[in-house]
Structures are given as structure tokens and as C-alpha cells.
Structure 1
Amino acid sequence: GGGGGGGFQNSNLGGGLNTIDFSQRQLVPFEKDFYIEHPDVTARPDAEAHAWRASKQIVVVGDGVPKPCLTFEEASMPEYVLGEVIKCGFDKPTPIQSQGWPMALKGKNMVGISATGSGKTLAFLLPAMIHINAQVS
């Protein structure tokens, strides 16, 4: 373990990019909150959500942290996303997906640390697709 820290120490990656003065630009506002809490998640007592997190060794810090979604249906993602996941044979979200999807769909910041093979890639990729598809082209 430990990772190598990347290989860009001696690189000039991005060195030729122009600096942008964002104070002089009118940026197009964009939506960041796509999360629609499923009624089953809303009805789930906070104590049950806390107990589930503890059983999965999930620690959350901050205000407005959404409860985890324990099934794909509770994730309230569009059919074009969930249909593909279900076709791949997955039966339920992994713990990092259960907590990460609501966070990412709400546009919240998150640091997710989890073992290799735990589903981290789908934990951020599926919400990212939803965010990207919703933006003005």
C-alpha cells in the first residue's frame, strides 16, 4: 500500500494554460442538488441510519449529511443510470455507494476512503454522470 503519489513532480503539466480572471467573467449558474430523498429513506429513523453507518465503519462529519440509501431504488437515480447498474448484476449498493451517492447528488463535498473493490468508482462516477448530463452545453 501507500501509493506512489503520482508521477508529475518534475512535470510542467498545465504550464502553458492561460490564467483566467474569474472576477471579470459572468459564469452561468448551474444546479448542484439532484438528490430526491426516497420516502423510505425519509421514514428511516436517524438512530437506524447511525447504527447502519457504525456497522459499516462509516464516519460522517458536517451539517446536512443525508441518510444512506440502502437499496438502488432508494438512491432515486434516473432509470438510464440504475437500469445499467442492475443489468450488470449488482443487487444493492456497497456501503460507500449507499452514503456517497446521496452526498454527491446533493452537491456536497466528500472524502471517501474505502478498500480496493469496494465500489468507490461507481460511488462518484454515477452521480458525476447525472451532474454532467444536467449542465448547459
Structure 2
Amino acid sequence: MGGQGHGEDEEEEEEEDPLDAYMSAIDAEAEKQKKKAKDVESSSKELIAAGDSKRGERADIEEEDDQESFFRYMEENPNAGVILTYTEDGVDIEYDKDGNPIPPERSKVIDPLPPIDHSTIEYRPFARNFYVEHEDIAALSSQEVAALRSKFNIRVTGPSPPPPCSSFAHFGFNQQLMHAIKKSEYTQPTPIQAQAIPAGLAGRDIIGIAKTGSGKTAAYLWPMLVHIMDQPELEPGDGPIGLIMAPTRELSQQIQT
């Protein structure tokens, strides 16, 4: 009886504990991964040392990743992403320190427009002079005209300039234009308007010089509107009747208003 009990104890001791078995399996898997990593590292070193053309490829995967693909593409295409330093005209483009292109200097020589033979073009007749001198202005003597210019601080040059007008009623504007002027709260012409509007209505060339806010814009626009309204209606393909050029966007908006 005693001998049999001793044998059963030995069999129980020989049986492996489940926890020990689990830990042994983990250790075995860890050793396996370490060996695999060493094999990969050794294989990579052999490829680099041998100067293989497939340098940079990993031995543990069949396909290259995004980074490997990018570097391979850049090696095969050295000009990829490089900004060309020439234009269609073959002129080299320089860049500043921030990488912004510096536009090349262009020739300031402008090719002349082809000559136009106006004798072959039939132009419609048009009225040029719309100024009818008011009787009050016509009655002024030369001394009174000079005194009026002196009062307005007007200096004018040119052949026989018209006398300045001191009232909007002297310009001969129609009711619609006069209503717009009154709506804009103009009471009487400014000096530049008093002298320039009669000349503009008469179809003369004008260069007006006055300080900002003196009413130069209206001095040009009101005679221009009179000339425009006398023209025939525009037809398809016709160009502008009046052209206004301004140096800034803000001034263009002011003129439009």
C-alpha cells in the first residue's frame, strides 16, 4: 500500500503546470520573433554591403511601402517637381530668396498700330458744339469777364476761351440733368466747372487743373452726357460713345456714383 502511494505522488509531480506551459509558449514565440528580426537585419546589411540595385527594399515584405515607392520614383525621375527656369520665349526666370519668381524685364518698345485710311471709312455726321451762350454772359464786357475770373481765381489759356458762367442756368442743361444736379445738392458751379463746362459743351479740348474736391469730375461728365445724348442709339458691335479713364478703383466707383 505504501509503495503504490509513493508512485502516484511522482506521477502528479511529473505533470506540467498550465501556467508554466503558457509562459513557455510565450518565451518560445518571443525567441522566434527575435530570430526573425535578426535574419531581416542581417539580410538588409548584406544587400547594402553588396551594393545591390534593389537597395532600400525590405526582405520581409514583397511589396514596397509608400516611402520606398516615393524615393524610388524620385531616383528614376530627378526632374520631378522641379520648377522650370525658362519661359516660352526662352528667357530665364530668376527667383527671390522666398522662391517667388521675378518677372523678367520686358521691352518697353510698343509696336505701332497699323495705319488707318480714314478716307475709306464713312463716318456719320455729328454735332460738336452744344454751347449756346446765355444772354447774361454775352452781355459781359471783357473787363467784367476778367473781374469774374479774378473773383473765381481762374487762370485760363488758349485761343478765345469762353467766359466763365456763375450759374447753372447759364449752361443750357435740360430739365432732367438740372434735376439730377439739384438732387446732388449743387447750388452753384465751382470755379473749375464755371470755366470748363462752357468749353466742354463747345466741343473744345480741355485740360483742367484743380485741387481735390473742386468738382473736376462733374466738369467733364456733364458736358459728356450732353454729347452722348445727341448720339444715335448703339447697335450690336458698336463701341463706347464716351470713355472715362481713372487711375484707381476708388475713383472709378466715385465717378460711377
Pairwise TM-score range, normalised by the shorter structure: 0.7 to 0.9
Distance 1:79 1:46 in 2: 31
Aligned to 1:111: 207
Range 49-58 or range 75-84, more displaced: 49-58
Aligned mate of 1:99, from 183, 187, 195: 195
Aligned mate of 1:90, from 186, 189, 204: 186
The TM-score normalised by the length of structure 1 is: 0.81
The count of residues paired between Structure 1 and Structure 2 equals 125
**Residue 128 (str. 1) matches residue 220 (str. 2):** no
Give the secondary-structure state (helix, strand or coil) at the position aligned to 1:44.
Answer: coil
Amino acid at match of 2:201: L
Aligned mate of 2:119, from 5, 23, 27: 23
Which structure has more RCO (C-alpha within 8 Å, separation ≥ 6)? 1
Distance 1:79 1:36 in 2: 16
**Deviation per residue, 1:35-84 (Å, 9 max, x gap):** 11111111122211112212333222222311111011111111111111
Aligned mate of 1:61, from 157, 168, 177: 157
**Residue 33 (str. 1) matches residue 129 (str. 2):** yes
Distance 1:30 1:49 in 2: 31
* Structure 1 unaligned residues grouped into runs of 5+: 1-9
| Greater share of helix | 2
Amino acid at match of 2:168: F
Distance 2:152 2:207 in 1: 16
Distance 2:153 2:137 in 1: 19
Contact 2:164 2:195 in 1 (8 A): yes
* Structure 2 unaligned residues grouped into runs of 5+: 1-105, 234-257
The TM-score normalised by the length of structure 2 is: 0.45
Deviation of 1:34 after TM superposition, in Å, equals: 0.4
Contact 2:165 2:195 in 1 (8 A): yes
Contact 2:200 2:206 in 1 (8 A): yes
Distance 2:222 2:115 in 1: 31
Distance 2:196 2:173 in 1: 13
**Residue 72 (str. 1) matches residue 168 (str. 2):** yes
Q: CA RMSD in A?
A: 2.2
